Amino acid sequence: MTKTDVSVREVGMRDGLQSISFIMPTTKKHEWAVREAAAGVREIEVASFVPPKLLPQMADGAEVVAQARKIAGLTVAALVPNLKGAERAVEAGAHKLNVVLSVSEGHNRANVRKTVQESLAEFARIVALVRALPAERRPIVCGGLATCFGCTIEGDVPEAQVLDTVERAIATGIDELVLADTVGYGNPAQVRRIFAAAQRIAGALPIAAHFHDTRGLGLANAVAALDTGIRRLDASLGGFGGCPYAPGASGNVDMEDLVFMLESMGMKTGVDLNRLLEVRRFIESVLPTDTFAGAVAVAGLPKNYRPAA
């Protein structure tokens, strides 16, 4: 397996599919994962273990995880909103549990009906659950902090509050952290400040970035994060994954555009862009939505495109 400079992680199967009412058949989800892994994407968040009655789109999570585990070299991640979800994800065999809270109290309450302190206690319970497992069954626990760059309910989220939450989240014993601009409020200057400061707090603990392109700043924010040394970026095929609070708004950073940018900058992603564009066409044929983003898929690759050497 070739070494990569930047790890690009697909989140559309969770972030995207949960935001539309269409329920993608399990076989198509599996085909998506197989095809995207074959194009070189090494980590995919394939499901969310929320109660099936809340998100019927994710009701087949256990089966999707179990099937995705058979794909060689792929890290199979699953979002878990609480301990119950973590137990189900462990049972299914997820390699990575993405546990989440919102830094903004109002957003956290609206999302999971907990205070941030209660959510942090849940992080610690999930870490304890994982540590009690035999080593070969122990998934990585990644703590996700949503609304780090602004909140649809509270507006500003003070940077000191974000950094304080970073510190408290790390203290729960998580293995990795992801800072998310859940609602597309962030700008590159803010991204640079927060990621630089968060890495000083985190030390050797890896931090990833999760941006939405809601207001067109997704790639600019990705570059700002890269500038501070971040090497793990979330994205979704076709920029799939709208904002639930803004119907019609664009979703996550577009995977094809992100790979194009990184490879053109000389940063290896391990992803074959032509094959990735084929996966996008497959997804376009499966999803009953035309709200796909991404410029490269429309314009095509430039004649002088060269992947990073």
What amino acid positions are annotated as catalytic residues? 243
Q: Least CB distance from residue 16 to Zn ion, whole Å?
A: 9
The total number of residues shown for the chain amounts to 309
Structure tokens at 258: 């992100």
**Listed ranges 7-15, 108-116, 117-125, 253-261: which one lies at the site for Zn ion (CB under 5 A):** 7-15
User: 159-171 and 116-131 are packed helices; what angle lies between their axes, rounded to 10 degrees?
Assistant: 30
Look up tokens 């790390």; give the residue. 170
29 versus 67: smaller Cβ distance to Zn ion: 29
Q: Least CB distance from residue 119 to Zn ion, whole Å?
A: 17
* Count of residues that interact with Zn ion, criterion CB under 5 A: 1
Radius of gyration of the chain (CA): 18
130 versus 283: smaller Cβ distance to Zn ion: 283
Q: Least CB distance from residue 101 to Zn ion, whole Å?
A: 14
Residue 292, SS3? Answer: coil
Instruction: Report d(CA 126, CA 82) in Å as an integer.
Output: 8
Residues 197-226, interacting with Zn ion (CB under 5 A): none
Structure tokens at 176: 């990795």
180 versus 279: smaller Cβ distance to Zn ion: 180
- Burial grade of 306 (CB within 10 A; 0-12, 13-18, 19 or more): exposed
Residues 8-67, interacting with Zn ion (CB under 5 A): 15
Structure tokens at 49: 């273990």
Q: Least CB distance from residue 236 to Zn ion, whole Å?
A: 9
251 versus 270: smaller Cβ distance to Zn ion: 251
Cβ atoms of 78 and 92 within 8 Å: the answer is yes
- Cβ neighbours for 121, distance < 8 A, ≥ 6 positions apart: none
Cβ atoms of 13 and 48 within 8 Å: the answer is no
Q: Least CB distance from residue 302 to Zn ion, whole Å?
A: 29
- Cβ neighbours for 291, distance < 8 A, ≥ 6 positions apart: 240, 242, 248, 250, 251
257 binds Zn ion (CB under 5 A): no
130 versus 178: smaller Cβ distance to Zn ion: 178
187 versus 264: smaller Cβ distance to Zn ion: 187
DSSP state for residue 83 in the 8-state scheme? H
The residue number whose beta carbon is nearest to Zn ion equals: 15
Residue 13 has phi, psi (to 5 degrees) of -65, -20
Structure tokens at 32: 């998506």
Structure tokens at 29: 């989800």
Q: Least CB distance from residue 240 to Zn ion, whole Å?
A: 11
Which residues make up the interface to Zn ion (CB under 5 A)? Answer: 15
